[in-house]
């Protein structure tokens, strides 16, 4: 441990995303990142040009439920530039998960853009665990809308709300 004060400070990362809705893959990234950071802010990006399945309030509500037992996880939403939000909340890093090479291309572009916008903000990428490789919110939504089971992909509260939203009823579980 150095004596510069930094090593004793609280390290906080912002985990941004659409989270429409949050999946077990996202939750896994947060849990693993808590071994590296003291505090994670899971932040839903408000994108006025992108109409999601859930409203921002619904997404935040479900995420608060999912992370209720995690004192070091905060759920929030933000608009505008991510790097500005990171600075506003006093975080040191942006956290993102990567599943595939396609993800990597997209993440690499965003990372370069963020770095040029604010060179002081670091970006940390965690590889997904194998079992979450094919879990994307859009694939999960298609499975639910066609009546498939997604117990292994979504927290129960999210599965129920998604089923109600897409099929007009709960899962019965």
Could you list the residues that contact ligand PNS (CB under 6 A)? 16-18, 45, 81-82, 110, 113-114
Closest-CA residue to 93 (of 63, 116, 115, 75): 115
CB 107 within 8 A of CB 98: yes
Nearest-approach distance from CB 67 to ligand PNS, in angstroms: 17
- Give 110 or 126: the residue with its C-beta nearer to ligand PNS: 110
* Helices (runs of H) and strands (runs of E) counted in the chain: 6, 5
Q: Which residues are catalytic?
A: 26, 50, 99, 137
Residues 20/137, Cβ–Cβ less than 8 Å: yes
**H-helix or E-strand spanning residue 58:** helix 56-66
Closest distance to ligand PNS from the beta carbon of 11 (Å): 20
What is the DSSP code string of 97-161?
EE-SHHHHHHHHHHHHHHHHH-TT-EEEEEEPPGGGTT--HHHHHHHHHTT---TTTS-HHHHHH
CB of 57 to ligand PNS, least distance (A): 17
């Amino acid at each position: 441990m150095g004596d510069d004060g930094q090593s004793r400070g609280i390290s906080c990362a912002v985990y941004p995303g659409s989270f429409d809705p949050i999946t077990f893959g996202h939750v896994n990234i947060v849990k693993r990142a808590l071994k590296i950071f003291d505090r994670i802010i899971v932040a839903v990006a408000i994108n006025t040009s992108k109409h999601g399945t859930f409203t921002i309030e619904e997404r935040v509500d479900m995420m608060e439920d999912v992370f209720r037992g995690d004192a070091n996880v905060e759920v929030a939403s933000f608009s505008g530039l991510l790097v500005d939000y990171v600075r506003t909340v006093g975080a040191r890093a942006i956290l993102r998960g990567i599943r595939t090479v396609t993800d990597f291309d997209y993440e690499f572009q965003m990372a370069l853009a963020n770095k040029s916008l604010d060179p002081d903000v670091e970006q940390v990428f965690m590889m997904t665990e194998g079992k979450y490789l094919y879990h994307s919110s859009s694939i999960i939504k298609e499975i639910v809308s066609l009546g498939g089971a997604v117990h292994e992909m979504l927290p129960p509260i999210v599965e129920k709300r998604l089923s109600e939203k897409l099929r007009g009823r709960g899962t019965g579980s």
